[in-house]
Amino acid sequence: MTDLTTTIAGVRFPTCFMNAAGALCVTREELMALGRSRSGAIVTKSMTVEPRQGNPEPRYHGFAGGSINSMGLPNLGYRAYAEMIPDLKQFGKPVIASVAGLREEDFPVIATVINAAGPDLIEVNLSCPNIPGKPQIGYDPDASERIIKLVRPLITVPMGLKLPPYFDPAHQEAMQKVIARQGIDFLNLINSVGNALVVDPDRETVVIKPKGGFGGLGGAIIKPVALANVRAFYKLFEGRLPIIGTGGIVNGVDAFEHILCGASAVQIGTVLVEEGLEVFARLETELSAILARKGYSSIVDCRGAVREL
């Protein structure tokens, strides 16, 4: 039997598959269902200070090869998630609280209360691409470092960053220096590829309502971008910093590719929304079969092992 368990920042996960923040994880009911599912963790929706309805609908659209969304951070507000976290611990799997903010000063307010609620890990989201008028913090190393400095002393559980996709090695190298200086415990790579546009040629319209149809791209179509970021940061940190690979995972082969590039675990978004919670069992079966066929007894055996030509 292949071993799909993994460890991130000293926290053991019963399986390397988990939901991505934003996918079926907004309400208490959705989070409890994740707890009962085969997901290796319960990842909360990225939370803001006040509850948010999010952007007008339609704001998600699946298409052949991926999805586009402009959700606008719909969430219950950090106080609601702080109250839920103790109940979510009953399932015996890690709880990852995803913290966001609309202003820099929001981050320490949320981080203090959420840390006290006792999640197993906290992911600071520097990459939400779907707030009109708000740039992605992760594209500004100085702003990113300011926020990290605000929250790093307040967080006593392992703290990670969810980062946007970078398209230039210089940007990855600049963020690597920030991350190394601030003692980050893990990375989540990547959030959706922002500022994309999908058109329905039959109706001659865009497919989502917010921002004139512009939104974040997810699903299979973004896998090469996600793999590039996982590999780049794995190499920049020489394999020492745990990475959660997110982006383009539809089947076991996709997960295997993320692990080969250096991921210690993977998160799923589009395929979870499209298939539902049963997808976790399918992905486990498919990844186990690949590892067994290749003679690997665990994901640790092949993590980061992709060969260069």
**Where in the sequence numbering do the catalytic residues fall?**
128
Strands 66-69 and 17-19: unpaired
Torsion over CA: 250, 24, 276, 131 (sign): negative
Per DSSP, which regions of the chain are E strands? Answer: 6-8, 11-13, 17-19, 42-43, 60-63, 66-69, 95-99, 121-125, 159-163, 186-189, 193-197, 199-200, 205-206, 214-218, 243-246, 265-268
**Token duo for residue 269:** 């978004």
d(CA 229, CA 225): 6
d(CA 61, CA 88): 30
d(CA 192, CA 96): 19
